[in-house]
């Protein structure tokens, strides 16, 4: 936990927060805080700063929060990614959120197994918990939007134009000749395929819809590392 993420309802006065549950356990048993200890903290959707521990007993931790700076700027990349198998899905969520992505659209594709759409990890409660953990890791306070689209073609043709209009459209396509250039802060829609890649039909469909294919180098990367590598290449700030 690089940042203690606070909710509005944690505040019991204008600057004092009461934290219980998982965050309290971590403060008490992992970080082993004591009165006077300063922790990095931030308010969900708001400012970051520090929190001074006032007390920490078996039940709860009380802290005084002081706002200091804005959360880090978002990465202007929207990630469209074929829904991966459950464990990989969680890693992709972690990776994209920790690199600053603020919108992820999980899409269907020929090689996405039907069972992946039934997983408990697609439920709101699971996602919110993972997103909060990722924000605590990367010291951000802004929750990303997560969307799911069970139809590939209608999503690309009908819905995509309304998402980030004017963004450069880039698709990671194993074996493509060109390498991802640096978009230096300009908005990008990045499409990443499933294990085994998009089908030829899907690749052609993406290219016909304004995507440029970029290669992923001579090695076959597992999905979460392909996402990390592509996001790093597309953004100069890493």
Per rule CB under 8 A, is residue 6 in the interface with its own copies? no
CA–CA separation, 182 and 153 (whole Å): 28
Q: Which ranges of 181-222 would DSSP assign to H, the alpha helix?
A: 200-208
Using CB under 8 A, count the residues that bind its own copies. 34
Q: Does 225 bind its own copies (CB under 8 A)?
A: yes
Q: Which is nearer to its own copies, 139 or 207 (CB)?
A: 139
Residue 173 as a binder of its own copies (CB under 8 A): the answer is: no
Minimum CB distance to its own copies smaller for 63 or for 95 = 95
- With CB under 8 A as the contact rule, the residue among 76, 144, 180, 194 that binds its own copies is 180
Q: Closer CB to its own copies, residue 131 or residue 160? A: 131
List the 61-69 sheet strands across, edge first: 4-6, 38-43, 48-56, 61-69, 16-19
Binding region for its own copies (CB under 8 A) out of 108-116, 118-126, 147-155, 221-229: 221-229
Classify residue 50 as exposed, middle or buried by CB count within 10 Å of its CB (0-12, 13-18, 19+). Answer: middle
Candidates 9-17, 76-84, 112-120, 227-235: pick the segment binding its own copies (CB under 8 A): 227-235
- Is residue 218 a contact point for its own copies (CB under 8 A)? yes
Nearer to its own copies, 16 or 86 (CB): 86
Q: Which of 137, 164, 199, 209 binds its own copies (CB under 8 A)?
A: 137
Q: What angle (nearest 5°) sits at the alpha carbon of residue 197, between those of residues 166 and 147? A: 50
Q: Residue 94 interacts with its own copies (CB under 8 A)? A: yes
Which residues in the 67-86 window bind its own copies by CB under 8 A? 72-73
Distance CA 70, CA 16 (A): 20
Q: Which residues of 79-117 are buried (b: 16+ CB within 10 A; e: fewer)?
A: bbbbbbeeebbbbbbbbbbbbbbbbbbbbbbeebeeebe
Give the position of tokens 């039907």: 114
Q: Is 143 in the site for its own copies (CB under 8 A)?
A: no
**Alpha-carbon separation of residue 103 from 79, 81, 156, 223 (angstroms):** 6, 11, 16, 17
Task: Give the footprint of its own copies on residues 41-60 (CB under 8 A).
Answer: none
Q: DSSP assignment, residue 32?
A: -
230 counts as binding its own copies under rule CB under 8 A: yes
Question: Based on CB atoms, which residue is closest to its own copies, 152 or 197?
Answer: 197
Is 39 in a helix, a strand, or coil? strand
Distance of CA 58 to the CA centre of its chain: 33
Contact residues: its own copies, CB under 8 A: 2, 72-73, 94-95, 98-100, 137-140, 179-180, 215-222, 224-225, 228-233, 235-238
């Amino acid at each position: 936990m690089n940042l203690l993420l606070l909710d509005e309802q944690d505040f019991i006065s204008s600057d004092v927060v009461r934290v219980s549950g998982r965050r309290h356990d971590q403060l008490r048993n992992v970080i082993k805080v004591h009165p006077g200890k300063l922790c990095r903290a931030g308010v969900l959707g708001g400012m970051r700063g520090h929190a001074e521990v006032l007390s920490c007993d078996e039940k709860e931790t009380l802290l005084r929060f002081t706002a200091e700076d804005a959360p880090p700027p978002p990465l202007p990349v929207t990630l469209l990614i074929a829904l991966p198998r459950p464990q990989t899905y969680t890693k992709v969520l972690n990776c994209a959120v920790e690199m600053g992505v603020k919108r992820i659209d999980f899409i269907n594709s020929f090689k996405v197994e039907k069972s992946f759409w039934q997983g408990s990890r697609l439920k709101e409660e699971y996602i919110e918990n993972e997103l909060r953990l990722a924000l605590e890791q990367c010291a951000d306070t802004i929750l990303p939007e997560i969307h799911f689209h069970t139809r590939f073609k209608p999503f690309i043709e009908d819905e995509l134009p309304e998402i980030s209009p004017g963004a450069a459209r880039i698709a990671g396509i194993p074996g493509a000749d060109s390498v991802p250039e640096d978009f230096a802060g300009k908005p990008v829609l990045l499409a990443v395929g499933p294990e085994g890649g998009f089908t030829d039909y899907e690749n052609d469909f993406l290219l016909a819809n304004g995507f440029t294919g970029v290669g992923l180098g001579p090695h076959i990367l597992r999905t979460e590392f392909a996402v990390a590598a592509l996001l790093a290449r597309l953004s100069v700030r890493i």
